[in-house]
Structure 1
Amino acid sequence: MFDVLVYVYENYWQGDACPEWSQLERTLSTLGFEPEEIEGALYWLDGLYDAVQGQLEHPELQHPASMRVYLPREQEHLGEECLGYLGFLESSGLLPPFMREVVVDRAMVLPSEYLSREMLRLILRMAYWSFGTEPQEHLVLSELSDDGVLRVLH
């Protein structure tokens, strides 16, 4: 499923470029993705759409100065590294509360063996994509796309 989501993001990151689900499903199948992977990814993407719509329909639910307390099951599922990364993005002002909730929602439906910092980055990129925005800072974009290679700043 991860590979399907990566493909969808890399090829359709401009929201208006993404085809209807039935056409996307045929395209993914033609590319050789397994039916179970495709079905899981489309189900996950439907959930992403629903989570975004919920946030857009009820902006009053998230105050910009609100504090998020993670439930024990969320702490266990997300793990220390992902929670730390979310905290870093929030404290930097780069992850607003409404988007954080979408990211947490989508991360919680993944089996824990799939959830890594790399997968969290993909979820973050897809959340930005779904809200029709991009991170304002070019450094954030490079951080979200970091491949672990040591780089020298110029």
Structure 2
Amino acid sequence: MIDILVYLFETYGYADACPAEPEQLARKLSAAGFEQGEISEAIEWLSGLRGMASEPTASFDPNSRSIRIFTDEEQGRLDIECRGFLSFLEGNGTLDARQRELILERAMALPESEVSLSKFKVIVLMVLWQQQASMDTLILDELLTEETDEEDGDWTEVLSVH
């Protein structure tokens, strides 16, 4: 599924350019050679992202000095590298509290029991892509060039910065 998300980012520079209709997107992904099971998972995941991004939420004070406490389930699925990377992005102003929560929700929606840092970075990328958030070039480079775990596949060789 992560490969499909990377493919969508690479193929559709902007989230608005990506087909919104699940059937149309499924046809395009199938034509690109992805398997039906992965396509279904990716479309479901994207639908969840679109749904969460469009829901009204409680306002977060951007100047708050509060600290996000991770649940036991979040700590079990997101290792210290993922949580540290999220804190880094929020601390340097790349993410606000709402985006952080969207990222956490979408990470928890993955079928894997543990989310590697490379997969987590793709989730961050997709949330920011969906929201059409502007990203610093160095942050974008960090999201795109991290070495992948062997079990994640090697998608970094095909990525380019837009």
Q: Structure 1 residues 147 and 58, CA, compared in 2 at 3 Å: closer, same or farther? A: closer
CA RMSD of aligned residues (A): 1.8
- 1:143-154 → structure 2 map (5 Å cutoff): 143-148=142-147
Residue 145 of structure 1 aligns to a residue whose secondary structure is helix
Structure 1 residue aligned with 2:30:
29
Structure 2 residue aligned with 1:63:
61
Structure 2 residue aligned with 1:152:
none
Shift of 1:59: 4.8
Residue 51 of structure 2 aligns to a residue whose secondary structure is helix
Gaps of 5+ in 2: 148-155, 157-162
Structure 2 residue aligned with 1:129:
129
Identity across the alignment (%):
39
Shift of 1:83: 0.6
CA distance in 2, matches of 1:104, 1:30: 31
- Whether 1:83 aligns to 2:79 is no
CA distance in 2, matches of 1:6, 1:90: 22
CA distance in 1, matches of 2:34, 2:114: 17
TM-score, normalised relative to structure 2:
0.82
Structure 1 residue aligned with 2:160:
none
Shift of 1:122: 0.9
Larger helix share, 1 or 2: 1
- Partner letter of residue 26 of structure 2? E
TM-score, normalised relative to structure 1:
0.86
Aligned length: 145
Residue 128 of structure 1 aligns to a residue whose secondary structure is helix
Q: Deviations over 1:5-48 (max 9, x none)?
A: 11112111312211232111101112221111000000000010
- Once the two structures are overlaid, the 10-residue window that deviates more, 42-51 or 8-17, is 8-17
Residue 24 of structure 1 aligns to a residue whose secondary structure is helix
Residue 63 of structure 1 aligns to a residue whose secondary structure is coil
Structure 1 residue aligned with 2:110:
110
Structure 2 residue aligned with 1:142:
141
Contact 2:78/2:114, CA 8 A, preserved across alignment: no
